[in-house]
Copies of this chain bind each other. A is one copy, B any other.
């Protein structure tokens, strides 16, 4: 997805600074996508130059100014147009669509070159890690600051449910079939 469309989409949930957009990528979106500061800040500057977002500078005594961006009508239109024209190309992506770039799967692929104890530890830690992830996805309590804007989206419940189901399947499979790796 184009970085512009993505930033506009996140701003459609409410006005935000670049730093707060990054927080969304590190929080609720961390398992699905991410953009770096080096992408976010230039993108916001370009969007502002082209009037897709407006910017209010909140000067905070001696911290650097907090630049809060708001999506404009023109920006909403661009976002919707882009989503519509690119929708079909995203059908073949993500979870067993296009490239997943799974380092873990690659490690499994070459597991025969690792000592058995090492692979045992790795698999144990993977299981622990996935259990932890599962709890995160199932957690329904309060979230800090403006991160609840994204949590309350209907689509986010759908995605979280899907993610939980996938992790559970992965955990069950790993526990039942790990013997087959030796």
Contact = CB atoms under 8 A, between A and B. Distances in A.
Interface stretch (A42-50, A53-61, A170-178): A170-178
Interface stretch (A14-22, A62-70, A84-92, A140-148): A84-92
A6 B170 CA distance: 24
Contacts of A104: 90-91, 93-95, 97
Question: Which label, helix, strand, loop or mixed, suits the secondary structure of the A interface?
Answer: helix
A162 B174 contact: yes
Contacts of A34: 99, 101
A100 B32 contact: yes
Contacts of A129: 91-92, 97
B31 A100 contact: yes
A122 B155 CA distance: 15
A7 to B, nearest CB: 12
Interface of A: 1, 6, 9, 12, 30-34, 79-80, 83-84, 87-115, 118, 122, 125-126, 129-130, 133, 137, 153-159, 161-163, 165-170, 172-174, 177, 180-181
Given A33-B101, A88-B125, 15 more contacts: A30-B99, A31-B97, A31-B98, A84-B114, A91-B122, A91-B129, A96-B133, A96-B166, A100-B100, A109-B159, A111-B155, A162-B170, A165-B169, A166-B173, A169-B169
